[in-house]
Structures are given as structure tokens and as C-alpha cells.
Amino acid sequence: MRQASIERNTTETRIRLRLDLDGGGHYAVATGIGFLDHMLEQLSRHSLIDLELEAKGDLHIDAHHTTEDSGIAVGQALAQALGERTGIHRYGSALVPMDETLTRVALDLSGRPYLVWKVRFDRDKVGDMDTELFKEWFQAFANAAGATLHVETLYGENNHHIVESCFKALARALREAVEIDPRKADAVPSTKGTLGGSL
């Protein structure tokens, strides 16, 4: 069973998370940040990864720690559920339109974390959430998951649509990358025989 449970407790946040890679996109998310909840629900629904996440953070300061730590927790759970990453497709990509916006995500579950972020906003906030925090979530996720992740909004005007297309494109890329390849279900998809570490 490709499942994981994470409990992450710091002086800034307390997070409990359960994840199932072979789910149906069912979710129960409560971070205390409404817009982040909405994005994580989209991530679950469109990746078909079941996600239960409860976070209690120092929102009286701001949303930074809760956002970043939720990205870490989701990434850690993904890495844990993947185990040795045997049999997975490894790579995934998606182009996701949302009205006037188009975002592209390319993903390699290589074990080597790297983020390329080519997304721009013309507002400081979406809802009550600072737009600069979305990069923090994607960076934290890529680092903890051991994922090489490229996110680029090719064009768009509405900041809500830009963010949502990023999460939905990540979801669709993840759905492809974590699937088991029936032609190589018993092999790690690397000539090195392992994923992670140096080139």
C-alpha cells in the first residue's frame, strides 16, 4: 500500500497528514488558511491522491510558517509513500488552462530537489493569502519530496486563476509520475538502479 502518515510538530506549526497515492482524490483539509485549503483540495482531486491534512500554525503572526510547513509535510508524505520509487513512471507533465490563464508543469521524481518558478503576480494577495507564499509552498514541497519541479505560467491575468492553474497542473503531473508502469513495475526507473543523490 503506497500510503504515508506524517506528524510534524514545531514551535511554529503542528501538522497531521495522511496520504494515499492510489486513492480517488478524496480530501479533508484544514490549515486555517482558506485559500490554501482550496488549493490543496484541488491538488488532491486532480491527482487522485487522497489527502487528509490538519495544520495549526502561528497565524497570529502570518501565514508563512503554515504554508511552508504544509508543503514540507505533503512532500515528506509523498516521498515516504513512494519508498524506493520502484515501478513509477517518474516523469509527469501537464498544461492546464483556466480561462485566460495557461500554466505548464514538468516534474521528475528523481530524488533530487530543484524548483524552477516562472510565475508572476500583479497583486500582493489572493483572498487573505500573500501571493509570495505560493513559491514558498512549491519550494518546500519540491525539497521534501525530492522532486525536480518546473512551474511556468505562460500567460494569464487573473491572480486566482494563475495560482489555481499551478496547483492543478502539479496535480496532473503528479498523477502521471506516481503511476506504476506495467512494463517495468519491478524496476527503479533509472540506469543507476536508484533514485536520489548526486548525478
Taking only the tens place, the pLDDT of each residue in 12-69 is 999 999 999 999 999 999 999 999 999 999 999 999 999 999 999 999 999 999 999 9
52 within a domain of the structure (yes/no): yes
Share of the chain above pLDDT 70, in %: 93
Any domain includes 38: yes
Residue 187 scores a pLDDT above 70: no
Q: What CATH number is given to the structural domain containing 18?
A: 3.30.230.40
Q: At CA 106, angle to CA 180 and CA 158, rounded to 5?
A: 125
The total of structural domains in the chain comes to 1
Where are the extended beta strands (E) located within the chain?
3-9, 13-20, 27-30, 50-57, 91-98, 101-108, 114-118, 125-126, 129-130, 148-155
198 belongs to a structural domain? no
**SS3 state at 179:** coil
Provide the pairing of β-strand 114-118 with 148-155: parallel
Tell me the average pLDDT of the chain.
94
Query: Which domain covers residue 136, as residue numbers?
Result: 3-178
* 75 lies in some domain: yes
Q: Is residue 12 part of a domain?
A: yes
C-alpha to C-alpha distance for 138 and 120, rounded to whole angstroms: 14
* Sheet-wide strand order for 148-155: 91-98, 101-108, 148-155, 114-118
Total-model pTM = 0.94
Of 26-30, 111-115, 173-177, 183-187, the range with the lowest mean pLDDT is: 183-187
Examine residue 192 and state whether it is found in any structural domain, yes or no: no
- Confirm whether 50 is domain-assigned: yes
Q: Of 78, 70, 4, which is closest to residue 31 (Cα–Cα)? A: 70
